[in-house]
Amino acid sequence: MRLLIARCSVDYSGRLSAHLPEATRLIMVKADGTLAIHSDGNASKPLNWMVAPNVLEIHDDKWVVTNGKGEILTIWIHQVLEDVTHQLGDDPGLEKDGVEAHLQELLAAKPWVLEEGLSLIRREYPTDIGPVDLLCADTAQRMVAVEVKRRGDIDGVEQLWRYLERLDNDPRLAPVRGIFAAQVIAPQARVMAEARGIEAIEVDYDGLRDAEDTELRLFDIH
C-alpha cells in the first residue's frame, strides 16, 4: 500500500463533475490499484475514490486515474509532505460477530423471506475487493447480491454498491441488483440505498431464530 500525504487539488469527470480545492489530504493506493483520497475530518469515507481495475499515470505535477467506464480522476500535486509504501501481506478478512454471522446463515437457508421466490446461488461469493455475503437469483433468474449487517449504516450501503460495480463487470452475472438486509437500518442508509437502486430490508432476526429452533425441535422429535 502506498500512502501519500500532500497538498493537492482534485478534479473528477465521469457520471458528473466535481472539484476539490487545494488542501492537505491523504492519498491511499492499495495493491490492487484502488485509490482513495481522504481528509482529516470525514470519518472513514473517502472524499473521492477509483476502484480497480484502473490505470494510474504518475507525472511530476499530477496523478491521473482512468477506468473502463471513461471516468477520470486528476490529482494535482502541489506539495508532497510524506510518501511511504508498505507491504501489508495477506489479510484473514473480517470476522462477523455472532449475531451478524448467524443472520447471514439464516437468510442463506431462507432467502425467500427477503423476496418471494429468491433462491441462494452461493454464500460469500468472491469479488476482487472481497466476498459479497449472498449471491441469489430471483424468479426472473436475475442475479441479486445481498449484504447482511446487524445494524445497517451508510458504510454498508457503500460496501454493497462497490460489490455491485464489480459483479456487473462479469457478463455472466450482469445486471446484478442489490438487497441491503439488516436488523435495523439507519434513515440515512435507507435514503442512500434508495438513491442507488438498492432495496433496504429490515429483518426480524429473533423471529428467524425462533423459527429455526422450532424446526430443529420438530426434527429431533421425528
In this structure, which amino acid lies at residue 71? E
Domain check: are 50 and 135 in the same one? no
Q: Is 28 within the bounds of a domain?
A: yes
Q: How many domains does the chain have?
A: 2
Do 60 and 113 belong to one domain? no
Residue 222 above 50 pLDDT? no
Burial of 51: CB neighbours in 10 Å, binned 0-12, 13-18, 19+ = middle
Q: Do 102 and 77 form a contact (C-beta atoms < 8 A)?
A: no
- The stretch 135-140 carries a mean pLDDT of 95
Q: What residues contact 110, with CB distance under 8 A and at least 6 apart?
A: 208
Q: Out of 30-34, 59-63, 83-87, 215-219, pick the least confident.
A: 215-219
- 12 burial (CB, 10 Å; 0-12 / 13-18 / 19+) is buried
Q: Which pLDDT score, from 0 to 100, does residue 219 have?
A: 41
The predicted structure's pLDDT at residue 101:
83
Question: What is the model's pLDDT at position 136?
Answer: 96
The verdict on residue 92 lying in a domain is: no
Q: Are 205 and 98 in contact (CB under 8 A)?
A: no
Contacts 24+ apart (CB under 8 A), 47-52: 47/10, 47/20, 48/10, 48/12, 48/18, 48/20, 48/73, 51/129, 51/162, 51/165, 51/166, 52/128, 52/129
Position 98 scores a pLDDT of 64
Tell me the mean pLDDT in the region 177-189: 94
Instruction: Provide the pLDDT for residue 218.
Output: 39
**Which 8-state DSSP code applies to residue 159?**
H
What distance, in Å, lies between the first and last C-alpha atoms of the chain? 56
73 and 111 inside one domain: no
Task: Please give the Cα distance from 100 to 106 (Å, whole number).
Answer: 10
Domain extent for 70: 2-85
In the predicted structure, residue 42 carries a pLDDT above the cut 70: no
In a domain, 90, yes or no: no
- Domain with 63 in it: what CATH number? 2.70.180.20
In this predicted structure, the answer to whether residue 221 has a pLDDT above a threshold of 50 is: no
Taking residues 96-119, what's their average pLDDT?
Answer: 85
Q: DSSP character for 130?
A: B
What pLDDT sits at residue 93?
55
More confident residue, 217 or 50: 50
pLDDT category at 220 given cuts 50, 70, 90 is very low
